[in-house]
Amino acid sequence: MALKTPIYDSHVESGGKIVDFAGFMMPVSFEGIVAEHERVRTKVGLFDVSHMGEIEITGDSALEFADYAVTNSIAKLDDGQICYTVCCNEEGKILDDLLVYRFSASRILFVVNAVNVDKIYDHLLSIKKGDVEINNNSSITGQIAVQGPESRSLLIDSPFCASVAEKIKDLEYYHFLVFDYQGNEIILSRTGYTGELGYEIYLPWDLTDSIWNILLGKGKDLGAAPIGLGARDTLRFEPCYCLYGHEIDEETSPLEAGLSWVVKLKKGDFVGRGALVAEKEAKPARKLIGLQLEGRGIPRQGCNVLYDGEVVGKVTSGTFSPTLKKGLAMALVDRSLPKDASGLEIEIRGKLSPAVKVKMPFYQSHVND
C-alpha cells in the first residue's frame, strides 16, 4: 500500500495525475510536463517533496561521524551551510546522493532519496561510531520546494516567512535558516534540483499541507502552481544533475559519474575511501557524457551507445528537453572513448540512430541569481 504525503488530497483537488513513486502516491503532472517545466524556468513552481528522507545525527561525535559516512567534507562547512555529497559503500559505489545540513558540530541533517531512506538509515546504524544518535525523521518531516526566478519574491511576501523576510534576501546558495513558526521549527534552505533560484522548506508533517496552500495562494500573482515529478525530472536533467537509479547507483562510483568534486580523498578516513583511492589511481572504468541525436527521436534510459559498431556504454537518462526542444541523453561510457569521438550511435528500440557528443550541462543553471 503506497503512502500519501501530507499534501496528497490537495494534489488530487488540483487535478494532479497520481503515480506510485518510491512507495508514495505522488503527482507526476498537473497542467502538463512542458508547461510545468516552463513555469519553473520563467516564474515559480511548488514541489511536494515530502517523500524525501530526513535522517538527523546528533551528539558530540556527530560531525566526525558524518564525515566518516559521506565523501564530501562536512568539517569544512560552516554552521548553517549545506553540501551535496554521496554516501558510498566499502567498494566505493554509491548508496545514495544526499544533502548534508550542518546546524553545528553536534547536529547534522542528512536529506536522502525516498527510495533509499531505509537502506541509508540501516547503513548508518551499521557503521555507527562515537557518541552519536541517529534518528530517522522522514515520516514526521514534510518538505516543500519553491523553485524558479520568482521564488525569492514569493517567500519574502509570504506571511509564513514574515519573521525571516530580511534574512531570506541575504541567504546564499547552499545555506539555510532555522526559524520558529507558531511554535514549530522550520528549516529553510537555498537549495533545489532544478537549476533555478530556489528554496526548500522542511516542516512538521501535519503543518505541510496548510503551508503549501498558503504559499500557493499567495504566489498565484507571481505565477506559482504545483509541479509534478515529470517536470522535476526534466528540470534536473537539463543542468545534468545526477539522479539515483539513473546516473548513479550501487554499480557506479562517484568518480565515474562526474562527481569527483564531492569526493575529498584527503579529508581523513570515510567509508569507501580505500576503494576510491585505488580507483582514482587506476583511472575510473567509465565516464559520463552528453549526447544528442543527429536526427529526430528521443534516447531513453538503458539504450546502448555504440562507437565503431561496438557497444561502449548505456544511456542513463534520456528525454525531450523542453527548454532546448530536442532529445538529449546522459550516458555512462567506457573511459577509452575518445574525447572527439565521432560516428557515435544510440540503439533505440532495435534501430541505430546517429548521435553526437554535446557539452554538459545542457542548460546553464541560474542558482546564483
- Is the CB of residue 92 less than 8 Å from the CB of residue 265? no
Q: Which is nearer to other proteins, 42 or 139 (CB)?
A: 42
Q: Which is nearer to other proteins, 3 or 35 (CB)?
A: 35
The three-state secondary structure class of 191 is coil
The residues facing 187 across adjacent strands are 178, 202
Rounded Cα–Cα distance for residues 144 and 154 (Å): 13
Q: Which is nearer to other proteins, 138 or 234 (CB)?
A: 234
Q: Which contiguous run of DSSP H or E holds residue 168?
A: helix 165-170
As measured in angstroms, the least distance from the Cβ of 24 to other proteins is 18
As measured in angstroms, the least distance from the Cβ of 349 to other proteins is 7
Exposure string for 278-306, b = 16+ CB within 10 A, e = fewer: ebeeeebebbbbbbbbeeebbbebebbbb
Rounded Cα–Cα distance for residues 166 and 202 (Å): 19
Distances (CA, A) of 199 to 114, 145, 206: 19, 6, 20
13 Cβ neighbours under 8 A, 6+ residues apart:
none
Chain contacts with other proteins (rule: CB under 8 A): 28-29, 32-35, 230, 233-234, 296-298, 300, 319-320, 322, 327, 349
As measured in angstroms, the least distance from the Cβ of 90 to other proteins is 35
Q: Which is nearer to other proteins, 65 or 244 (CB)?
A: 244
Q: Which is nearer to other proteins, 72 or 147 (CB)?
A: 147
Q: Which is nearer to other proteins, 92 or 327 (CB)?
A: 327
**Other CB atoms within 10 A of residue 140 CB:** 11
As measured in angstroms, the least distance from the Cβ of 11 to other proteins is 16
As measured in angstroms, the least distance from the Cβ of 296 to other proteins is 6
In the chain, the DSSP E strands lie at 3-4, 17-21, 24-29, 45-48, 53-58, 81-88, 94-104, 107-112, 133-136, 141-147, 176-181, 184-189, 198-204, 225-226, 286-293, 304-307, 310-321, 326-334, 344-348, 351-358
Q: Which is nearer to other proteins, 268 or 302 (CB)?
A: 302
As measured in angstroms, the least distance from the Cβ of 9 to other proteins is 21
Q: How many residues does the chain have?
A: 369
As measured in angstroms, the least distance from the Cβ of 97 to other proteins is 21
Q: Which is nearer to other proteins, 258 or 322 (CB)?
A: 322
As measured in angstroms, the least distance from the Cβ of 252 to other proteins is 22
Q: Which is nearer to other proteins, 190 or 246 (CB)?
A: 246
Rounded Cα–Cα distance for residues 170 and 152 (Å): 10
DSSP string for 212-268? HHHHHHHHGGGT-EE--HHHHHHHHHTTT---BTTTBSTT--TTTTT-GGG--TTS-
As measured in angstroms, the least distance from the Cβ of 136 to other proteins is 30
As measured in angstroms, the least distance from the Cβ of 323 to other proteins is 12
Q: Which is nearer to other proteins, 71 or 319 (CB)?
A: 319
Q: Which candidate, 235, 229, 351, 242, places its Cα nearest to that of 290?
A: 242
Q: Which candidate, 109, 67, 77, places its Cα nearest to that of 272?
A: 67
- Is the CB of residue 116 less than 8 Å from the CB of residue 55? no
